[in-house]
Amino acid sequence: MSKVVRKKAHWSGRAREVLLFRGPEGKLPFPILGGAEKAQFPYVGNVEDQQAGHSAVKVQANDLVLEINGTIVVGMTSEDIAAVLSTSHSSIQLKTTRPGAVLTQDLRHYLNLRFKKGSPDHEFQQSIRDNLYLRTVPCTTRLPRDEEVAGLDYNFISVEAFASLERSGAFLETGTYDGIPCTLWLFWII
């Protein structure tokens, strides 16, 4: 007898859209925690008032926040997420999902996964990286070129400093260029 192998449903199929209304003082019924500066997906904090959600789907603590009013907020800092929220004065449309094996609160975990080019996960990673690169400066161990400005184009650091920062988990992504370890590059939040 052969076993039937069930393919797990993709996380995007479990994403939920929730319409929220601000309270009388303009307050949301929960905080949105995390953010790129913590290398985390934005996520729902402690939910105070479930009545604020005006849809059949309710928000739960630790739900990952993927979009706010159609804007992908994963990869944004908490300050940038607050700015997106501030553009909505009364109602807010959230797209959320429960954390799982692929999507956890750890942004590094998701960005280090490999996906087929053109797949939903690959496209989502690209959107996240676009958001991250707005607030990051790449680091490299190579010497600056004539036209490059330190701190603007790259942070130029020693191999030893790079290795120490990498061991401490200070970077979101690391890699090599053309297989040469001395040209490692990575990103940190500025």
Query: How much is the pLDDT for 58?
Result: 79
Structure confidence at residue 187 as a pLDDT band (50, 70, 90): low
Strand partners, 138: 187
Question: Mean pLDDT over residues 75-99, rounded?
Answer: 92
Tens-place pLDDT, residues 123-181: 999 999 999 888 777 788 888 999 999 888 888 888 888 888 888 877 777 777 665 44
Nearest to 127 by CA among 69, 183, 75: 75
pLDDT confidence of residue 95: 96
Instruction: State pTM to two decimals.
Output: 0.77
- The domains found in the chain, sorted by start residue, are 13-128 (2.30.42.10), 135-189 (3.30.63.10)
- Per-residue pLDDT of 101-128, as tens digits, reads 999 999 989 998 999 999 999 999 999 9
Is the pLDDT at 182 greater than 50, yes or no?
A: no
Distance CA 118, CA 187 (A): 24
> Would you state the pLDDT for residue 141?
84
